[in-house]
Structure 1
């Protein structure tokens, strides 16, 4: 993160600047698609987005660390400590929390959104299956929809925030459901299934069959049919969410539109492989990311230029090697 970006965001304290830099490093290391999209934001918006990502990543790392020595009780204690530290006035010594607390205060992001997020993270400590769509939706609200709502004050809106909020939440949900389809293998390895059990059962699929497919690295026809239905549900949520991009501030639309396109391309890759999600992780290639991102760069530049003159972007600054979230 450049000094100019930090200053543009009103972040002048050296220690706080370093905190935001560390959050950006987390995003660059773990979020290939998301990190690329953040490059399309105005410089003053980027630090806050990196901070919010850093907080979510911190919780994910507590829950998804494959270290078998960590017990559920130890993970619960670490998550509780994170929640306590987040609420603490003194965040000295924790770069991520210092940056996210600053972001929350600057943009007046409601604290209940973070409480809902942490509640869903706590569910991951004990809930391994979801009996129906309603149960899964309760988890997804806290794990994904609130992320879209946290970002909304940073992105800005063209009208009342309440008009944009349902679309922001829906896009977060679409991203999460895409991850659930892509990461079935990984989630089974953590003893979790993030698909509604009753909807799977309608196609003759249960956890045992999913585990069998995972073990042999090949999907059963019943599983393919069940995943096709989940895929269609996710597509419909993307369609709804994209319709709300126009409710955002013009300078933020290229970023969000690009993120939506790139994440939806993961669904394309899953469909291209006939819903073969076992033994293979659906990915969007670097070339495709750069083509979509490159078009977004100029849309973002043009949107900001209409508001005030800005230098033309340099395509070589687009990231190409970050690890995918």
Structure 2
């Protein structure tokens, strides 16, 4: 499948093909539900999405250091090295680092605003020291760089049927909605890493603070105040999804099935959290596998319909796309669905 994607995208140089392939592997390993949704994109657009998400996953892995062996100073050096490599690559159009090489090629090809990558790296660096957020406004500033800009980076690749600046706020909101969903799902794991992403003022309104969350995590006991606070954050996140949803119909018809599938699967996590009794301090809530397969199958049918209707724009390629500034065949989808049946859980931060 990788070869067909690269051929469709017109990526011929061997080193560049290897770089994109490496990004694809990162996505397949770290973001399995979103990776499945990406299989609903036209072949030619998938490599760019893999480059954008592969870079984001790499930076996020440096921050989290899932091995637990890196010191804060080592992670700081690794992030600054990555930022410097990115800066050089964006300035010169070249990089020896495969993930950066693919990202730079995508940024140039789709004319993606370089400030989005600067803002993303700023948020990643802040994660080394910032462990909680006093208000939602503080969290929103962080999420602009860690989530909203991901949606904005994606928009030129997905393509739009409206001026890009009209779709941009909805794309940014979708990135935020996905990340808020991850924050809710991962409360316990983030506590183990010393972080609380839920806004402190919202928690305090229900009598919840870091100490109570830690007590609940360590003791395995519940507290109704935590349930009430989580319920409030779920309501807030649902509101962000409502802000994002109108943007789906602004996308190129052949990319809508992918994003609507991702939208539905991620929003379903909120329902899974409620069905699980808001036990996010103790465990991840998981959307039932049967539901995930059904949503992906529906997306595959919508994609096949869009292709038969002759929909599709060439995305945000410089020589074909709108220049307004902005703040696979069906049998292969069936193969992807068979792979989904073997997936153990939903993905980490997208």
| Alignment match, 1:316 | 335
Give the one of 257, 261, 266 matched to 2:260. 257
Q: Distance between the aligned counterparts of 2:165 and 2:68, measured in 1?
A: 44
Cα distance, 1:286 vs structure 2: 2.7
Aligned pairs (5 A) from 1:155-194: 155-194=158-197
Could you list the runs of 5+ residues in structure 1 that have no partner in the other structure?
none
Cα distance, 1:276 vs structure 2: 1.0
Relative to structure 1, the CA distance from residue 135 to residue 308 in structure 2 (aligned partners, 3 Å threshold; closer, same or farther) is closer
Give CA-to-partner distance per residue, 1:192-237, whole Å, 9 cap, x none. 1001111110100000001111112233100000010000000111
The 8 Å contact of residues 20 and 50 in structure 2, kept in 1 or not, is answered as yes
Could you list the runs of 5+ residues in structure 2 that have no partner in the other structure?
313-327
| Alignment match, 1:57 | 57
Give CA-to-partner distance per residue, 1:117-172, whole Å, 9 cap, x none. 00010110110110001100000110000000000000000010000000000011
Q: Name whichever of 309-318 and 208-217 sits farther off.
A: 309-318
- Are 2:167 and 1:148 equivalent residues in the alignment? no
| Alignment match, 1:128 | 131
Q: Match of 1:307, SS?
A: coil
Q: Distance between the aligned counterparts of 1:20 and 1:206, measured in 2?
A: 43
| Alignment match, 1:200 | 203
- Are 2:110 and 1:91 equivalent residues in the alignment? no
Relative to structure 1, the CA distance from residue 308 to residue 116 in structure 2 (aligned partners, 3 Å threshold; closer, same or farther) is closer
The 8 Å contact of residues 297 and 313 in structure 1, kept in 2 or not, is answered as no
| Alignment match, 2:113 | 110
Q: Distance between the aligned counterparts of 1:312 and 1:77, measured in 2?
A: 45
Q: Name whichever of 107-116 and 8-17 sits farther off.
A: 8-17
Relative to structure 1, the CA distance from residue 18 to residue 72 in structure 2 (aligned partners, 3 Å threshold; closer, same or farther) is same
The 8 Å contact of residues 298 and 313 in structure 1, kept in 2 or not, is answered as no
Moved runs in structure 1, 4+ residues, more than 3 A?
A: 66-69, 308-314
Q: Match of 2:255, SS?
A: helix
Q: Distance between the aligned counterparts of 2:106 and 2:29, measured in 1?
A: 21
Q: How many residues align?
A: 324
The 8 Å contact of residues 300 and 330 in structure 2, kept in 1 or not, is answered as no
Q: CA RMSD in A?
A: 1.6
TM-score scaled by length of structure 1:
0.96
